[in-house]
Amino acid sequence: MPKFTLNGQEIEAKAGQTIIQAAEDHGVEIPHYCYHADLPIDGNCRMCLVDVEKMPKLTPACTTLVNEGMVVRSENERVKQAVRGVLEFLLINHPVDCPVCDQAGECRLQDYYMVYGLHTSEIPLGMKVRKRKVIDLGPMVVLDQERCVLCSRCIRFFEHVTETGEMQFFGRGDHVAIGTFEDRPLNNPYSGNVVDICPVGALTSRDFRFKCRVWFLHATDSICGGCSTGCAVRIDHRDGAIFRMIPRRNPEVNRSWLCDEGRLSFHELNKTERISRPLMKGRDGVQAPVTWEEAVRSIDARLKEIRAANGAGSILGFASPSATNEGLFLFKRYVGDQLGATQFDFRVDSEDKNVLEEEDQILRHFDKHPNSTGAIKLGLMSKELGGIDGAIEAARAGQIKAGVVIYFPPLVRRACDEEVEGRVFELIDVLEYSVVLAAHKSEWQTAASVVLPVTPWSEEEGTYTNFEGRVQFAGKAIDAGGDALAVWEAFAMLLHASGAESPWMSAEDVFASLTEHVPAYREVTLDKTRLPGVIVG
Amino acid sequence: MPALPVMTKILLANIDKPDQASIAKYRERGGYKALEKALAMEQTALIDEVKASGLRGRGGAGFPTGMKWSFVPRNTNKPTYLLCNADESEPGTFKDRILMERDPHMLIEGMAIACYALNCHLSYIYIRGEYEFVANTQQKALDEAYEAKILGPSVMGKDFALDIFVHLGQGAYICGEETSLIESLEGNRGYPRIKPPFPATHGFLASPTVVNNVETLAALPWIVQNGAAAYAAIGTEKSKGTKLFSVSGHVAKPGVYEVDLGYPLLDFINKEAGGVANGRKLKAVIPGGSSVPVMTAAECEGVLLDYESLLKAGSMLGSGGMIVLDETTSMPETLSVIADFYAHESCGQCTPCREGTGWAAKILKNIIAGEGKRSDVDLLLKIADMMEGKTICPLADADVMPIRSFVTKFRSEFEDLCSN
């Protein structure tokens, strides 16, 4: 562990670290464009030049390994002048079109100009190098070559992360530009990442372009709901609407990346109409709106009647692997502990197998639910039923009479989803009495005895357990409309209506109960579920 | 005035003799004897011999050749490569071309000696793309050498295999920088690499690699044949041997000359190169290729042609591409041509070079078009400061040196072209 001096302060670096990495670990940001923690080092931007004693020239902090006893200055006048010079160079041919640039507000050129630059331009407009603008690079990315600082992060991403190599430099000297061969589209499933790693406005998101100035957005830390990988994300939203989702760095899971499907998955939430109020079938068989109180009283009474007539074995609990651990825990608490039901499952499409199945070598898993492992760990997988087909069969055979079903369609859609949804519909249809908790309207809705509006991913806070058993906290970004409640709230109400204890006032309370009652989670605290999350046995 | 030294001809000894490019004539005039001698020597002894000769890299940097060789790790499980840098692209430099065109076997013999010393069995000659005709001559010589069993599985009957290939560049000055040359040879974009690691350990195909200039390698047969001491006896204490100078510009006899290092600069211009043409007066000299600082006529007084003297005089020996400028020369126009070259040839990897070379070139264009401002002259110097020493390779510095020297030494010429 080499010790070195940075700006007069002695700090310890990890073996093999470069100056920029060691400085970052100790909270000193050395300005940079091309350096990126999850990409190979390139050393081209020359913004991170630092003054190292006994080295005649300034040296890049990103390429220089820390040596024992090294004396480094990143803030003296010599360094500041060099950084100012590099920044001025980067800006001479930059179009300075911040008022119409999506990057404005989170642009490294703007940020560093405020710290190091503040110079007046010495280059007349007519002398600037002109390059191509608004180049369509496929479904995710739009390229503006004039704004580019040529840091090669995008090139290195495609070379070393996706290994698809679509982007390259073209030309040389001050006419160098990035691009794809013959403007071919970036159509690999991770192309959106280059928008995040672009430190300037050269690569912008086709999806987010011109939607909102970034400083109006509120950020909520969350976990992607698109599959079982559990990538750390930040949801940017405003006035109850999500504008974009970008990765947060979790070196243990997704590094700095996010797949394109996951990135766009939040749009799925608004594609179909929401269920805004609890609905209950009257004696005439027609659904009518009711209050939550009416609904839970009626449900509890009816389920107890069925239990009295057919035994607790006739009640099915069918969970969703997209619900939070908190929702699933109280679901089990009510349907299992309170009503005595023993038949539980959540599988509509072999989620227990797909949860570990890698779709590629980068991030994606085949299971398009964020919490299948959580459902398994809570004991919601029945050997006898073996998934939804077994449940349908048991219901047809009359062994199962009633069911409490939580259903969230996957946020990342696949071709087979319609067929899968058909099975859910069939299950609800064959049950004599069905209570369905869902967020969106769908064709099964008319078949349900009771429909309870609950909040989907991003509209309630809670934890998800990813493919490897990593428990991670996802915050609540926006409020659900209408009367929708969090899944845990719905079951807390049912437990209360049923005469059981129901002391939970927040998802946090529920999580505390969960860690108390579920052995696998015993050691987990909510704090540990923040980055990088904690793996449970 | 002391008598001028007697000039030794090492590299150009046979350059004008008929048919020297053929293997028959080359051997007739003593060719490949040095290789035979080298092959009988211990490899390490050969490296020591080159070290003792004081031979320094003739491509421009002047790094001691023997020392460069000694950085190559021995007994690794990776192959060692020798790459001959024939990407001669520095404006004003055309010395390597003459060697390859007129005496290609001398280069082959030098390479074979170097390969034997370095235990290298595969070697490339990286020739600039514009030298296709030179490459053809060199290739013909290689074919002859293979036929004569000087190259191939058994070099001159000895248990030592060597293949040499010619590789044509695609027209980028930067590929003369040794790490870009390696990248280019590997089939990549010609971008300089960050050092360390150095080519001696991680060069071509991540293996130990030596990159030597044509002129450096061509000197080896003579050194082996005549001994390190004979070579070291020529020149000055630190600059040993002879050096080729390619002279262009306003001289009566432009061309390639071989001089003992330490020869007086003005004598060289006046006696060897025929003096300034048309009876005009000398204004300035760029002694070592367009990237070295320009010297005024006054600064040339008493300066000797060797690495140390030129450095002391504020310039550099560089590649020996000497450009002589007479009194009619417009310095802003000359600098503009040079700056255009570096702007055109900047690979674009590092920010300061990519943006700085282009910006400086545009400012100079404005100035010579009469559209410059007086403040532009200082701006040029500021840009030079912003570029200097801040890039991966020395291309930016190669632009900085002429900019700074031209502007400071001939400032009034620039200001006179500018309006306020």
Q: Determine which of A52, A64, A172 to mutate to test the interface with B (most B C-beta atoms within 10 Å).
A: A172
Residue B3 pLDDT > 80: no
pLDDT, tens only, A128-148 = 999 999 999 999 999 999 999
pLDDT of residue B7: 77
% of chain B beyond a pLDDT of 70 = 99
pLDDT of residue A495: 98
pLDDT, tens only, A380-434 = 998 889 999 999 999 999 999 999 999 999 999 998 888 988 999 999 999 999 9
Residue B220 pLDDT > 80: yes
Q: For A44, name the nearest residue in chain B, comparing CA atoms only.
A: B350
Residues of A with a Cβ under 8 Å from any B Cβ are 41, 43-47, 49, 57-58, 60, 63, 82, 85-86, 88-90, 92-93, 122-123, 127, 129, 149-150, 168-169, 171-176
Q: How far is A169 from chain B (nearest CA, A)?
A: 9
pLDDT of residue B1: 47
Under an 8 A CB cutoff, do A86 and B390 touch? yes
pLDDT of residue A160: 97
Tell me the chain B residues in contact with residue A43 when contact means C-beta distances shorter than 8 Å. Answer: 194, 392
- Joined together, the tokens standing for residue B385 give 């400061």
How far is CA A77 from each of CA A48, A73, A74, A84, A90, rounded to the nearest angstrom?
A: 14, 10, 9, 10, 20
pLDDT, tens only, A271-326 = 999 999 999 999 898 999 999 999 999 999 999 999 999 999 999 999 999 999 99
pLDDT of residue B5: 60
Q: How far is A18 from chain B (nearest CA, A)?
A: 13
- Confidence class of residue B303 from pLDDT cuts 50, 70 and 90? very high
DSSP annotation string for A211-271: T--GGG-EEEEEE--SSTT--EEEEEEETTEEEEEEEPPBTTTTBT---HHHHHGGGGGGT
Instruction: Identify which of A86, A129, A168 has the shortest CB distance to residue B351.
Output: A86
- End-to-end C-alpha distance for chain A, whole angstroms: 32
pTM listed for this prediction: 0.94
Q: For A55, name the nearest residue in chain B, comparing CA atoms only.
A: B389
Instruction: Identify which of B349, B355, B356 has the shortest CB distance to residue A44.
Output: B349
pLDDT of residue B2: 53
pLDDT of residue B156: 97
3-state DSSP assignment of residue A209: coil
Q: Per-10-residue mean pLDDT for chain A, 537 residues long?
A: 95 96 96 98 96 96 96 96 96 96 97 91 91 96 98 98 97 96 96 98 97 98 98 97 98 98 97 95 93 98 97 97 98 97 94 94 97 97 92 96 96 91 94 97 92 97 97 96 95 97 97 96 95 94
Tell me the chain A residues in contact with residue B390 when contact means C-beta distances shorter than 8 Å. Answer: 46, 49, 57-58, 82, 85-86
List the one residue out of A229, A239, A253, A200 whose CA is nearest residue A354: A229
Residue B185 pLDDT > 60: yes
Residues 6+ apart with CB under 8 A from A410: A226, A268, A322, A368, A369, A417
DSSP state of B74: S
Tell me the chain A residues in contact with residue B379 when contact means C-beta distances shorter than 8 Å. Answer: 122
Tell me the chain A residues in contact with residue B347 when contact means C-beta distances shorter than 8 Å. Answer: 172-173
Per the prediction, chain B carries an average pLDDT of 96
Tell me the chain A residues in contact with residue B393 when contact means C-beta distances shorter than 8 Å. Answer: none
Tell me the chain A residues in contact with residue B171 when contact means C-beta distances shorter than 8 Å. Answer: none
Q: How far apart (Å, rounded) are the C-alpha atoms in residues A476 and A472?
A: 13
Tell me the chain A residues in contact with residue B348 when contact means C-beta distances shorter than 8 Å. Answer: 150, 169, 171-176
Q: How far is B386 from chain A (nearest CA, A)?
A: 5
B278-297 in b/e form (b: 16+ CB < 10 A) is eeeebbbbbbbbbbbbbbbb
Under an 8 A CB cutoff, do B356 and A82 touch? no
Reported as type and span, the H/E element at residue A315 is strand A315-318
Tell me the chain B residues in contact with residue A55 when contact means C-beta distances shorter than 8 Å. Answer: none
Under an 8 A CB cutoff, do B348 and A45 touch? no
The runs of H, that is alpha helices, within B207-330 are 214-218, 220-226, 228-232, 265-267, 297-300, 307-312
Per the prediction, chain A carries an average pLDDT of 96
pLDDT of residue B8: 84
